[in-house]
Amino acid sequence: MSLFVLGDTHLSFGVPEKPMDIFEGWEGYQDLLAENWRRRISPEDTVVLAGDISWGMTLAQARADFAFLHALPGTKIILKGNHDYWWDTMKKMTALFEENGFDSLHILHNNCYAYEGLGICGTRGWVNIPGETNVRGEPANESVSGDRKVLLREEQRLRTSLEAARQQGLRPVVFLHYPPIYWGNRNELMLEAMRDYGVTDCYYGHLHGSITHARAEKGTVDGITYHLIAGDYLHFIPEKIV
């Protein structure tokens, strides 16, 4: 029994007019993902899928992608990405999974999941915002700025997830979609939440392409080790955590 992670599956079985194959490094990615998954994942394993799951705009459009994931071995824990427009209330998402028998799919949202002493925690995250600073103490680049209201909400969701792990006596591991550090810019609210709860490992996706991958944080900063797990970066091979 093992724990794996993968981000950015960008499945498009329900909306075939939006394939990712047109981009370099994504040729035949859905078949490649299924092949790699079945080679590495057993029914007893758990896989965290760190956002951008489906190109479906609604739950109905994403249903075929959920069916694809459900047919693969293992338990899947799903968090939201910036392209997951199908994302709805927990009640509606859970109801769709139950109605279709997708009992291997679970939503990570204002909660956490226990895995052999670990607390699987996370949320979508958000980009840096005006007024925050980068690692050099300079103003952050406004081109990567987002809305502070959204960021505050995401910070609270992360803290709620981390607190759920603390209440269960679990060691928290954080999964985000957006990187909390990218090319010198720091999302201090998300970083502070992780520091407050003693997080030592953070897994994130969102970043695509060789140039962007090269700029991604993939080392240890202030006691937290950052792992890029975007689908194309991992060549659609789920990465084993434990």
Whole-Å CA distances, 3 to 69, 179, 180, 186, 241: 16, 21, 22, 28, 5
DSSP-assigned letter for residue 28: T
pLDDT tens, residue by residue, 100-117: 999 999 999 999 999 999
CA–CA separation, 130 and 76 (whole Å): 35
DSSP-assigned letter for residue 142: G
Share of the chain above pLDDT 90, in %: 82
For 69, phi then psi, to 5°, come to -65, -40
**Domain range list for the chain:** 3-240
User: Can you list the positions of beta strands (E) in 51-200?
Assistant: 75-79, 105-107, 113-115, 118-123, 171-176, 181-182, 185-186
Cβ contact 67:100 at 8 Å? yes
pLDDT tens, residue by residue, 147-187: 788 899 999 999 999 999 999 999 999 999 999 999 988 99
Q: What is the pTM of this model?
A: 0.91
Q: Which residues pair with 46 in a beta bridge?
A: 3, 75
Digit-by-digit pLDDT tens for the chain (242 residues) are: 999 999 999 999 998 777 777 677 788 999 999 999 999 999 999 999 999 999 999 999 999 999 999 999 999 999 999 999 999 999 999 999 999 999 999 999 999 999 999 999 999 999 765 455 444 344 455 444 447 888 999 999 999 999 999 999 999 999 999 999 999 889 999 999 999 999 999 999 999 999 999 999 999 999 999 999 999 999 999 999 99
Cβ contact 221:196 at 8 Å? no
Cβ contact 99:178 at 8 Å? no
CA–CA separation, 164 and 75 (whole Å): 20
Q: What fold characterizes domain 3-240? A: Purple Acid Phosphatase; chain A, domain 2 (3.60.21)
Neighbours of 148 (CB within 10 A): 14
